């Protein structure tokens, strides 16, 4: 119930109380070697008493360094990004850095606005995964020549000389097709995302090459697309179901799609893991609890990706002349 005012203590007040100069207080507080032990102790004692806490806003301002990084992701609620955030917070916390966050919700305008905010906050670096609808990459240039290091991960722009950490979707796809083939499947389908999405493009290409690698023919009817809505997912499954030569094995775009299509398959009377088999690009292992989970899933290690990206960012912050880092994490089939 103290009538403790709202104004935080400053070094000046400590100085006045001790009848010494503010600079001495400053140095004492920072354990500057030139200050006598007694003085240092006296200063610290009074600082404690007065509940002194350094005003970081002043320090940030003066030092032109904020010990803060900005993290900009498409979404903060998706499990993939949650694991990422968690790792980023850990790495940052270890290094005494603070994290400010924003979600673009795949809105390019919002994305740019948040980036601007980060910049005006003078963050020491930016970690970001680009939204699906971002086409204009000017902001990048602006950021870069403002000297703020930036590291992309997961969804990265296709530009040379930037720092990025991404996932190689092909390795997991290869393993998936191999696994299907090893079990005797020949009619293998792909339920892909929206056609214009780079992530879809990549899945398609690696799907085709994995088929080829296994000596299988490609039938274009076996690639269907979904707009990632539940309706779209179900429609995609319907298309496959309607085929005269129904596929017995399916690789699907991601968890959410897989959940929908598996349900749709069940509703059509197909017996999971008997009539039809699924492998999903997956973000988290919830499958183990299901009675009929997908046959396998392709793990992209969002936590690891984010962690690595954060580490690169901190390297860059401490050594701006570092050459651009480009890391690729292999995706892996988990069964």
Q: Please give the residue ranges that form the binding site for its own copies (CB under 8 A).
A: 2, 4, 6, 8, 51, 53-58, 60-61, 64, 66, 68, 75-79, 82-83, 85-86, 89-90, 93, 98-103, 110, 114, 116-117, 119-122, 142, 145-147, 259-260, 262-263, 266, 286, 288-292
Indicate the SS3 state at residue 310.
helix
CB atoms within 10 A of CB 106: 15
Answer for the pair 112, 135: CB distance below 8 angstroms, yes or no.
Answer: no
Query: For residue 193, what are its two tokens?
Result: 């995302």
Please work out, in degrees rounded to the nearest 5, the angle formed at the alpha carbon of residue 207 by the alpha carbons of 250 and 268.
Answer: 15
Query: 51 touches which of its own copies, DNA, none (CB within 5 to 8 A by kind)?
Result: its own copies
Residue 27: CB minimum distance to DNA, A: 5
Query: 22 touches which of its own copies, DNA, none (CB within 5 to 8 A by kind)?
Result: DNA
Sign of the alpha-carbon torsion through 42, 43, 46, 48: negative
Residue 67: CB minimum distance to its own copies, A: 9
299 phi/psi in degrees, rounded to 5? -85, 135
CB nearer DNA, residue 7 or residue 161: 7
Residue 93: CB minimum distance to DNA, A: 21
Query: 266 touches which of DNA, its own copies, none (CB within 5 to 8 A by kind)?
Result: its own copies
Query: 27 touches which of DNA, its own copies, none (CB within 5 to 8 A by kind)?
Result: DNA
Query: 20 touches which of its own copies, DNA, none (CB within 5 to 8 A by kind)?
Result: DNA
Residue 291: CB minimum distance to its own copies, A: 5
CB nearer DNA, residue 8 or residue 324: 8
Please work out, in degrees rounded to the nearest 5, the angle formed at the alpha carbon of residue 162 by the alpha carbons of 333 and 123.
Answer: 105
Residue 139: CB minimum distance to its own copies, A: 12
CA 76 to chain centre: 9
Query: 30 touches which of its own copies, DNA, none (CB within 5 to 8 A by kind)?
Result: DNA
Distances (CA, A) of 297 to 278, 282, 332: 8, 6, 8
Query: For residue 286, what are its two tokens?
Result: 């919830």
User: What distance in Å separates the CA atoms of residue 331 and residue 301, rounded to the nearest whole number?
Assistant: 7
Query: For residue 326, what are its two tokens?
Result: 């480009």
Nearest to 122 by CA among 74, 57, 54: 57
Residue 325: CB minimum distance to its own copies, A: 20
Residue 249: CB minimum distance to its own copies, A: 20
Contact residues: DNA, CB under 7 A: 7-8, 10-12, 19-24, 26-27, 29-30, 34-36, 38-39, 52, 54-55, 58-59, 61-64
């Amino acid at each position: 119930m103290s009538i403790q005012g709202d104004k935080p203590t400053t070094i000046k007040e400590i100085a006045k109380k001790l009848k010494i100069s503010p600079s001495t207080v400053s140095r004492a507080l920072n354990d500057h070697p030139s200050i006598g032990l007694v003085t240092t102790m006296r200063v610290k004692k009074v600082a404690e008493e007065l509940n002194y806490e350094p005003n970081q806003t002043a320090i940030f301002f003066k030092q032109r360094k904020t010990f803060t990084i900005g993290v900009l992701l498409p979404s903060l609620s998706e499990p993939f990004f949650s694991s990422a955030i968690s790792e980023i917070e850990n790495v940052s916390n270890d290094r005494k850095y603070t994290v400010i966050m924003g979600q673009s919700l795949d809105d390019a305008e919002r994305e740019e606005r948040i980036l601007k905010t980060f910049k005006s906050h003078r963050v020491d670096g930016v970690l970001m995964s680009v939204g699906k609808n971002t086409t204009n990459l000017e902001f990048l240039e602006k950021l870069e020549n403002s000297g703020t290091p930036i590291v992309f991960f997961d969804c990265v722009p296709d530009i040379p000389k930037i720092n990025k950490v991404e996932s190689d979707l092909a390795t997991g796809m290869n393993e998936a097709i191999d696994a299907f083939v090893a079990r005797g499947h020949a009619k293998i389908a792909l339920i892909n995302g929206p056609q214009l999405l780079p992530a879809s493009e990549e899945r398609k290409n690696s799907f085709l090459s994995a088929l080829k690698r296994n000596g299988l023919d490609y039938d274009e009817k076996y690639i269907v697309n979904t707009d990632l809505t539940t309706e779209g997912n179900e429609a995609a499954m319907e298309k496959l179901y309607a085929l005269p030569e129904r596929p017995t094995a399916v690789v699907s775009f991601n968890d959410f799609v897989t959940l929908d299509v598996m349900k749709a398959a069940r509703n059509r009377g197909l017996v999971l893991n008997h009539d039809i088999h699924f492998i999903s690009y997956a973000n988290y292992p919830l499958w183990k609890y299901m009675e009929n989970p997908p046959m396998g899933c392709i793990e992209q290690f969002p936590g690891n990706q984010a962690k690595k990206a954060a580490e690169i960012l901190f390297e860059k912050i401490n050594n701006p002349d570092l050459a651009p880092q480009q890391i690729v994490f292999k995706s892996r089939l988990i069964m």
